[in-house]
Structure formats: C-alpha cells, structure tokens
Amino acid sequence: MPLNRDFIGRSYPASAPFEVGREKIREFADAIGDPNPVYRSAEAARALGHADVIAPPTFAIVMAFRTSGAVVLDASLGLNYALVVHGEQRFIHHRPIRAGDVLIGTPTIVDIRDAGRNELLTIQGEITTVDGEPVCTAVNTIVSRGTAAP
C-alpha cells in the first residue's frame, strides 16, 4: 500500500527533551573510533574556544532518530516499518552539540516520491535547544520497499 502523500508538509510535535551528557559524547566517540580530545576533555575543548566538551558531528543521529520516531510510528501515514531500509542521512550544523545542551527535535515530512517500485520518505528534523536556539537540521530519507503504486 502506498504512503499517504497528503502527509507531505506535515509537521509533528517536538520530541521530548534530551540532555546531552559528557559520558554519552565520549561513548559515541568511542563507538565511531574517533580519538579527538575535544570529545572527552573539557580542557581540550576550551583550548579551541568551546565552553565544554563537544560532540562529533554525527552525534546528531541520536536526536534525528528520536525526532523521526513520531513520523515512523504514525499509522495513518501507511508506513510498514518491516519494509523500511535507511536511504540517506545529512546534517546541516548551525553550531556544535555541547555537553549540557538540552535538545528537542521537530520533524516535518518534506517529500514522498516513487523510485521504481519503492517510495522514498524524506523527513527533516529541526534540532534546537529547549530555548529555541538552532543546533542542527537533520535530513533523513528512508526507503519503503515495494510500496509504490503500480
């Protein structure tokens, strides 16, 4: 069954706040194998002009995943998660993610289009602090396999 194209342009409520901790940043840096000291040491981060430890750029996936959840779980969209594979992920950073940030993400479906027998669903998540400061725009394209209209 095809995805509901009426959902293009639909925005969802902001995700629950997520507090970014130093330990989560370190764990993420370890997981991706990046030894950069600014991800582990407040002193190293301050030496480069940051107030505290900063996160690797791809740490934004943590918020992107939380943000996209509202879209993916919306049954009226018609998405069968069993048929989904990840297609593409992009981040447009407005500033580094920092330890101590409390972030929220607001998702919007920006496109649904056919690609052969598949459909591509593009979700744009605006990640901000709870005070509204822009941090990152996450653009996620997922593939709904075999659901395009004949």
pLDDT for position 1: 87
Question: Do 18 and 127 touch, CB atoms closer than 8 A?
Answer: no
Instruction: Flag whether 87 is in a domain.
Output: yes
Question: Do 8 and 78 touch, CB atoms closer than 8 A?
Answer: no
The answer to pTM > 0.85 is yes
Instruction: Flag whether 130 is in a domain.
Output: yes
For the chain, what's the residue count?
A: 150
Instruction: Flag whether 39 is in a domain.
Output: no
pLDDT for position 37: 98
User: Could you tell me the two tokens for 133?
Assistant: 């400061």
Q: Which domain holds residue 104?
A: 5-19+57-144
Instruction: Flag whether 44 is in a domain.
Output: no
Q: Which positions of the chain have pLDDT values less than 70?
A: none
pLDDT for position 150: 87
Instruction: Flag whether 27 is in a domain.
Output: no
Work out how many domains the chain is built from and give that number: 1
Instruction: Flag whether 122 is in a domain.
Output: yes
Give the model confidence (pLDDT) of 119-132 as tens digits.
999 999 999 999 99
CATH code for position 111? 3.10.129.10
Instruction: Flag whether 29 is in a domain.
Output: no
pLDDT for position 21: 97
pLDDT for position 110: 98
